[in-house]
Amino acid sequence: VISSTNDFVSVPGGGIFWNTQPEQAHYEPIPISFELTLIEPLELSTLPFWGFWNPYLMVNREQGHEIHLPGYPPTIHADTELFGKNDDSTNPAENRYYKTNTNLPWALDLPVKWNYPIEHKEISQAYYRFAPWAESAGNQYPDWYELGNGDINPAFIYDR
């Protein structure tokens, strides 16, 4: 468990943003790796659809305020009172987790190294195909994150 990335790195100069603002200095990422040793072996066919990989973020270090990948269930520590608030459409009875009312995910796991938006810009402002992709449940524009597809706003993408 990584409780805070600040345990590994700190932003030089006392800032709070790391490689998200073009006007700030760029710092080389620091690789972090880990090894998971199981006490007892697991049979993959007996695991739920998401396997044993269910990473999540905690907001402001609050144990119950979890953000998971879309469709992935919360831990037993999640504050279920947050479900359905604001633009969240999480509905455990329907196995719907961590998506907005328009199907936008609260987190992403992409199969490539990705040029993400600059700080304070929404993904859909940088990648014009992102919202249609999410709203179509991934059926439209499966390559929305590729820089070469032409439907991007380079001014809003951190690319260093």
Q: Which residue has the tokens 């179509």?
A: 136
If asked whether residues 97 and 133 sit together in one domain, one would say no
If asked whether residues 93 and 76 sit together in one domain, one would say yes
Which of 108, 125, 147 is the C-terminal boundary of a domain? 108
Report CA dihedral (115, 123, 127, 16) to the nearest 10 degrees: -30
If asked whether residues 126 and 152 sit together in one domain, one would say yes
Q: What tokens does 60 get? A: 């402001």
What are the two backbone dihedrals, phi and then psi, of residue 126, each rounded to the nearest 5 degrees? -95, -40
Residues in the chain, how many? Answer: 160
Q: Looking at the domain assignment, is residue 145 inside a domain?
A: yes
- Report the distance separating Cα 19 and Cα 123, nearest Å: 16
If asked whether residues 95 and 122 sit together in one domain, one would say no
If asked whether residues 97 and 126 sit together in one domain, one would say no
Q: Looking at the domain assignment, is residue 21 inside a domain?
A: no
Provide the number of structural domains found in the chain.
2
* 133 in Cβ contact with 144 (< 8 Å): yes
* Helix, coil or strand: residue 100: strand
How much is the pLDDT for 43?
81
Which of 92, 108, 124 is the C-terminal boundary of a domain? 108
Q: How far is CA 159 from the centre of its chain?
A: 18
Q: Looking at the domain assignment, is residue 87 inside a domain?
A: yes
Q: Looking at the domain assignment, is residue 20 inside a domain?
A: no
If asked whether residues 57 and 90 sit together in one domain, one would say yes
Residue 136 belongs to what domain range? 110-160
- Report the distance separating Cα 154 and Cα 158, nearest Å: 8
What is the mean pLDDT for each group of 10 consecutive residues in the chain (160 residues)? 63 77 86 81 75 82 92 94 95 95 94 93 96 95 87 92
From residue 1, how far is each of 27, 37, 80 by CA, in Å? Answer: 24, 13, 22
DSSP letter at 144 equals T
Q: Looking at the domain assignment, is residue 123 inside a domain?
A: yes
| Cβ neighbourhood burial of 49 (10 Å; 0-12, 13-18, 19+) | exposed
